[in-house]
Amino acid sequence: MGLTAYDLTGRTAFVTGAASGIGRACAALLAEAGAAVHCADVDEKGLSETQALIRDAGGLAATHTVDVTDRKQLGAAVGRAAEDSGRLDVMAAIAGVMHTGRVLETGEEDLDRVLGVNFKGVLYACQAAARVMIAAGGGGGGPLGGSLVTMASGAVDAARSGLLCYSVSKAAVVQLTRTLATELGPHGIRVNAVAPGWVRTPMTDRHDEAHQRRTEAALARMSPLGRVGEPEDVAHAVLYLASDASAFTTGQILRPNGGVAMPW
Ligand SMILES: NC(=O)c1ccc[n+]([C@@H]2O[C@H](COP(=O)([O-])OP(=O)(O)OC[C@H]3O[C@@H](n4cnc5c(N)ncnc54)[C@H](O)[C@@H]3O)[C@@H](O)[C@H]2O)c1
């Protein structure tokens, strides 16, 4: 198959969190690889910018203003996307929120918000996409099946003070990914997670600003490569998992983290 395995021409992808940062970079790269990309987010303005970016580069992009914590709204958007494009091959569930706060100060609202977006939002996206793919005979009817890519985080590889809600939500995504991989494999659908290290995005910029520090600089020093990630570093991992290049890969956690953590 060679390099054509990365070619997504004729495929359809749905990307949540596509208005900013990593989600935007993923949407742009999947479109560059040839996919028609459905960009979903709560941020309407950011979505339009992503759409313009993709269209200016000659790609195909549609937008869906969606809150991923709203199961019905998200399900309807995924259904519309599949209907408009005639198929659905890839779900990249990227939308997420950061949260910091020590365990003893963590309240119900924090838990509900962070688990709502980071875990339930990913679960609902995967459920909606898998239903469409299964109804189409597995993976949008494509010869090599469908692919669901979930967003975990390097936070699952370490215990850091102040990151309870966030790391628990991402650990839940890892278990969701493994469980779904076992359940959906027989339907020709692969499920994998990406667990990036620190990536320079509006999210991490806000974090640094709020805490008046450069976490980024400290994490860059921990990487054997001596830098933090860029959204495109993660997008390339997502493209691999979305494409036929990873046809025999499922239930795995891919870590574009600059070598900051090296679990077995
Ligand atoms: N930046 C990093 O260092 C890093 C590292 C590991 C994992 N991640 C994960 O990558 C993902 C993207 O992060 P980013 O750094 O690009 O952040 P970002 O803030 O730039 O982008 C997140 C996007 O998610 C959207 N979003 C938030 N809540 C939503 C909701 N309820 N419904 C729909 N959309 C919603 C936001 O509007 C935004 O466009 C997140 O899941 C994050 O946890 C980021």
Look over the chain and give the mean of its residue pLDDT values, rounded to a whole number: 94
Question: Would the pLDDT of 127 be above 70?
Answer: yes
Q: Does residue 202 have its Cβ closer than 6 Å to ligand 1?
A: yes
> Residue 106: pLDDT above 70?
yes
Residue 141 has pLDDT above 60, yes or no: no
* Ligand 1 pocket check for 199: Cβ under 6 Å: yes
pLDDT of residue 255: 98
pLDDT in tens, 209-260: 777 666 788 888 999 999 999 999 999 999 999 999 999 999 999 999 999 9
> What ranges in 36-155 are assigned the alpha helix state H?
44-56, 71-85, 108-115, 121-135
Do residues 197 and 221 touch, judged by C-beta distance below 8 A? no
Note the pTM of the prediction, 2 decimals: 0.97
pLDDT of residue 143: 47
For residues 14 and 78, is the Cβ–Cβ distance under 8 A? yes
Of 95-104, 177-186, 216-225, least confident by mean pLDDT is 216-225
- DSSP-derived letter for residue 229 is B
Q: Which ligand 1 atom is the nearest neighbour of the CA of 22? A: 16
Looking from the CA of residue 198, the nearest atom of ligand 1 is 3
The pLDDT tens digits of the residues spanning 58-98 come to 999 999 999 999 999 999 999 999 999 999 999 999 999 99
In this structure, the residue with its CA closest to atom 25 of ligand 1 is 17
Distance separating alpha carbons of residues 230 and 258, to the nearest angstrom = 10
Cβ(204) to ligand 1 under 6 A? Answer: yes
**Measured from the CB, is residue 253 less than 6 Å from ligand 1?**
no
Q: Which amino acid is at 108?
A: E
Q: Name the token pair of 56.
A: 């200016």
